[in-house]
Amino acid sequence: MSDGNCQSDVNEPPCAKKIKIDEKNDNGVAEPVLELKDFIPSKILNNNTNRKTVCVQGNFKDKSGVALVILEKNAFKEDELDSKGYFSVESDLKTFFQNDIYGNFECFPKSSINGVKTTIIYPATEKHIAKFSQQEVHIIQETSDCYNKLTLPHIEKEQFNLQWVYNILEGRSEQDRVVYDNKCEKEGFVLVPDLKWDGLTKETLYLLAIVRQRGIKSLRDLDGSHLPLLKRVRDEGKKAIFEKYKVPGSQLRIYFHYQPSFYHLHIHFTYLRHEAPGIYAEKSHLLDTVINNIEMMTDYYKKATLPFTIREMDTLFNVYETNGYVQKIKPDIKLIDK
């Protein structure tokens, strides 16, 4: 644990909070109430049948601006697989067919366990629309020269607004969701449930460690001076998660994304049993591997060639396409597996 000014707090489990219309939350931040009954859908941006998620674009009645609603089927909770949950008298079966010992049905469980995880982004920007739209994906092999000449100038100009990050770090928002808080400005971080996690279901555990030190955008900025910070995030993050969720460090996947979805350094903590988005080789960099690389070469990530995936609607794609590194897939081109 920290000492001196590097204090830490472990909060109670996150709870649902209902915010009144036209009032501010406990931290004085205005948060308008949005009701799904007022949402008017206009376009389906992405329907992912593998992950059971869908992103719908539209707007809210009597409100200006575009909104995105992301719906995701929840994972099964093991403590609901009993006579009070899915096998209760309230569950109903619709029969599709029965043949000998085999039967195919659709189950309608009681409403209290039949929720759909819902994320609302409002007002949504063009960047958000591009991020959640279904589109072709490419891999870029980013050299240090490409980063300095192409990527860095672009992200400094086009990155998402980071106010929501600063709201968490400064205690203005989401404080009821904070799992762990090390307040040291140089080596401290806040550990919170990722938006993709409900904060309750162990099987899909997913948390973010957001560092307090500003000015570190991504892996590219890390060097030997950041090793104490990285080791503190790893060690204290593991301990906090074990104390709260009883998941040992050996069952945690701890990693960076590159490119990250926002450019303030953060580290992902997910349960190994959970196949979270962005855990694959073209996106994910394990924290222990990053620490080891920096210990071998202090400026490793300033010199290394790093791969990252890029989608055709991303504005960064246009930068790399203009400079001849990638080309859009034309609709009439048919890709043939060899």
**Is 261 known to sit in a ligand binding site?**
yes
Q: Is 236 annotated as a binding residue?
A: no
Residue 197 annotated as lining a ligand binding site: no
Is 263 annotated as contributing to ligand binding? yes
Distance, CA of 36 to CA of 291 (rounded, Å): 44
E strands, 130-227, are 137-142, 180-182, 189-193, 206-211
Q: Are 197 and 204 in contact (CB under 8 A)?
A: yes
Is 266 a catalytic site residue? Answer: yes
Q: Rounded to whole angstroms, how far apart are CA atoms 205 and 199?
A: 7
Query: Beta-carbon neighbour count of residue 90 at 10 Å?
Result: 14
Please give the C-alpha separations between residue 252 and each of 165, 173, 247, 256, in angstroms, as whole numbers. Answer: 23, 26, 7, 13
262 is in an annotated binding site: yes
Does 194 appear as a known binding residue? yes
How far apart are the C-alpha atoms of 321 and 29, rounded to whole Å?
Answer: 41
Q: Which of 128, 138, 226, 266 is catalytic?
A: 266
Q: Which two tokens stand for residue 81?
A: 């697989």
For 138, phi and psi rounded to 5 degrees?
-130, 160
Return d(Cα 173, Cα 146) in angstroms, integer: 36
Q: Is 122 annotated as a binding residue?
A: no
- Residue 70 annotated as lining a ligand binding site: no
2 is in an annotated binding site: no
The reply, when asked if residue 271 is annotated as ligand binding, is: no
Annotated binding-site residue? 45: no
- 3-state secondary structure at position 234: helix
260 annotated to bind ligand: yes
Q: How many residues belong to the chain?
A: 338
- Quote the tokens at residue 301: 């990530």
Summarize the annotated binding site for substrate as residue ranges. 164, 174, 194, 196, 257-268
Q: Which residues are catalytic?
A: 266
Annotated binding site: 164, 174, 194, 196, 257-268
